[in-house]
Amino acid sequence: MCPLCARSLGARVEEHHLVPRTYKGRETVVLHPICHRKIHTVLTERELKDDFHTIAALRAQPDIATFVRWIAAKHPDFHESTATSRALKDRRRR
């Protein structure tokens, strides 16, 4: 089961470091690729390290919460490209 969206895992999975590897994070969780990509399109690595290093915190983040509600009815192998938000692009430039 994917801890982010609570759907059964599909044929493809990816590991997500709760604290990014660039910050020496070691603990991982297994997610759907689309769930993993959503996290990284919404949050910077610093935000992940400082504020969103638990599944509960990720699920509470408004953009991810909206995504989780949307993805809930999709097949476990459902995939769609995810675009990086303009706000995230701006935060990465800082």
- Kindly report the pTM of this predicted structure: 0.83
Give me the phi and psi of 17, to 5 degrees please.
Answer: -80, 120
DSSP conformation class of 69: H
Neighbours of 20 (CB within 10 A): 18
Q: Tell me, yes or no, whether 1 lies in a domain.
A: no
pLDDT at 80 over 80: no
pLDDT given for residue 13 in this prediction: 95
74 part of a folded domain = yes
Tell me, yes or no, whether 5 lies in a domain: no
The answer to whether position 9 is within a domain reads no
pLDDT in tens, 25-65: 999 999 999 999 999 999 999 999 999 999 999 999 999 99
Q: Where are the beta strands (DSSP E) in 1-94?
A: 14-17, 28-31
